[in-house]
Amino acid sequence: MFSLQKLLGRDDVFFDLLEKSAEEARESVRLLVRLLGTPGGGGAALDEFALLRKKDKRITEELSTRLTQTFVTPLEREDIEALSTALYKIPKTLEKFGERLLLSRAQVGSADFSRQVQLLESAIGTVEELVKHLRRSKLDVVKEQNDKLQYLEGEADKLMMELLRGLYNGESDPIRVIALKDLYELLEKVIDRCRDAGNIIFHIVLKNS
C-alpha cells in the first residue's frame, strides 16, 4: 500500500539515527579506555570494537536506505550522508588502533596514551552534544561547541609534535619508534574525525539558520 508518511519521511527518524551513531562513537572511546587499562591483554575488548563497528555500520546503512526511500528529508541528503560517514569513521579508526596496539604490545610496552585519550574524550563528548543540537539548529550554541572542537584538534596537533620530538631523540629503539608513531597518528586521526563531524554540523546549521 502506498504510504504518504513513508514518502515524506519523519524528521525525527534521521535525527534519531544520527544520534545513535554518535552514541556508538562515544562508546568506542569507552572501549579504548578499557583496552588501554588491560595490560598484556585486550582481545575481548577488540572483539567488542568489531561488534560496535558493525552495529554502527548497520545504522549507517539504515540511514542510506531511508534516504533512498524518502522524498522529503529534514536536511539535505548530501549533508546527512557526509555526517553519517564522518561519525562511522570514528569507531572504525579506533578499532584499527586497537588492532595495531595488540600487535605491538611487546614493542610499545607501557606507553602512556592518557593525554591523547583525555583530548579524545572531550572531543567525542562535544560531537555527541553537537549532533543533539541538530534538532534545535541554534547557531550560536553550535558555533561555540564547534570552536571547542577546533581548539581540541589544535591541542592534539601540539601534543603530536611534542610526542614526536620525544621519539626522535635517538634514545629509543627504532621499532618502538615506528610502532608508537603509528599509534599516535591513529589517535590524532580520530580527533580529526571529530573535528570533521563538527565542521559538517556547523555548516548544516549555518545553511538552515
pLDDT score recorded for residue 42: 64
Strand ranges, E, within 57-190 = none
C-alpha separations of 24 from 47, 59, 86, 92 in Å: 15, 10, 12, 11
Q: 0.75 cut: is pTM over it?
A: yes
Determine the average pLDDT of the residues in 135-152: 92
Q: Does domain 8-208 have CATH number 1.20.58.220?
A: yes
C-alpha separations of 101 from 26, 47, 84, 164, 187 in Å: 19, 14, 27, 18, 11
Confidence of residue 124 (pLDDT cuts 50, 70, 90): very high
Mean pLDDT is lowest, of 31-35, 78-82, 166-170, for: 166-170
pLDDT score recorded for residue 37: 84
95: which 3 cell numbers?
578499532
Domain chopping of the chain, boundaries: 8-208
| CA 121 centroid distance within chain | 10
Q: What is the pLDDT of residues 43-73, one digit of tens each?
A: 777 788 888 988 999 999 999 998 888 877 7
